Amino acid sequence: MSSRTRLAALASVSALALAGLSGCGSEGQDPVSSDATPTQAADPSDGSDEPTDPGSESADTTTVPVYFVGDTPQGQRLFREFRKVEADNPAAEALALMTAGDALDPDYDTLYPSGSFTSVEIGADKITVGLPDESWTTAPDGMTDDQARMAAQQAVYTLQGIAQKRLPLAFTLDGAPADLFGLGGEVSNDPETDVRALVNVTAPEQGASVSGTFTASGASSSFEANTPWEIREGGADGKVVKKGFATAEGWMDKLYPWETDVDVSDLPAGDYTFVAMTDDPSEGEGGGPTVDTKSITIQ
């Protein structure tokens, strides 16, 4: 039995989790909260982790946010994908994708060792997650303190996005309280600008086919809210054939949504890469811009 199937079978997801998902498809922007500060990540209960377009949903599936890790000038950070999963155990399905590093974007990965969580329950005041065995109570060989913290944030942001509440995560082993990777006690969300990549593309998705004019969107915290974008021939290192910029709804204290129309009607059909990045007024002195890339096909 695969870890994904085992987790789905053992997971217990409360009615609150399903209620939090009932609004999926209404607003797919990243966390926006009028009272968010540099030391307080925004509350996702405004629909921030709900997809703009959930695609062809059915009674058996729903779309959830899943957080992976990728490289940035600030080190490993969280990148988000919206994924379609079975509706009966959405939190368990999301955790299975997350721990396995089963991302659509090949630039994303996971910090978790082999194995998977055994259960997840979203309650009124906390989210309880079952560890597979005692080995997960301490950091694996080679995992740094920063990586242990970032791994925990993968789970925190994924499950809080599904619950649409900033609930702490409590970990258990065989029903008794336990620590994840030796972090100690319950774990809650760190501020977005400390753990999320400073730019993240929501659309187009990896491998999307586009034509004419398509809408690109995502989230960023970029200098003066400016989020440059480029289309490059072939891979991410290809020739730049078109560029522009989007203006996010804010910057500095957290990630804000951005959206822009991209006209590719004058480009030949073929394979390209869409690249969004943070503005870099230092011209590389601070490590360069954060980028997120998506392979696309122009039809």
pLDDT per residue over 46-88, tens digit each? 556 766 655 556 679 999 999 999 999 999 999 999 999 999 9
Distance CA(57)–CA(75), nearest Å, equals 35
What is the total residue count of the chain? Answer: 299
Tens-digit pLDDT string for the chain (299 aa): 443 333 433 344 333 333 334 333 333 333 322 223 222 334 564 556 766 655 556 679 999 999 999 999 999 999 999 999 999 999 999 999 999 999 999 999 999 999 999 999 999 999 999 999 999 999 999 999 999 999 999 999 999 999 999 999 999 999 999 999 999 999 999 999 999 999 999 999 999 999 999 999 999 999 999 999 999 999 999 999 999 999 999 999 999 999 999 999 999 999 999 999 999 887 767 789 999 999 999 99
For 87-119, the pLDDT digits (tens) are: 999 999 999 999 999 999 999 999 999 999 999
Q: Which fold has domain 199-298?
A: Immunoglobulin-like (2.60.40)
What does the block give as tokens for 120? Answer: 């997840």
CA–CA gap between residue 231 and residue 229 (Å, rounded): 7
- Which pLDDT belongs to residue 251? 94
Distance of CA 114 to the CA centre of its chain: 20
Q: What angle do CA 10, 17, 1 make, to 5 degrees?
A: 20
Kindly report the backbone phi and psi dihedral angles of residue 192, in degrees, each rounded to the nearest multiple of 5, phi listed first.
-55, -45
Domain ranges, ordered by start, for the chain: 3-194, 199-298
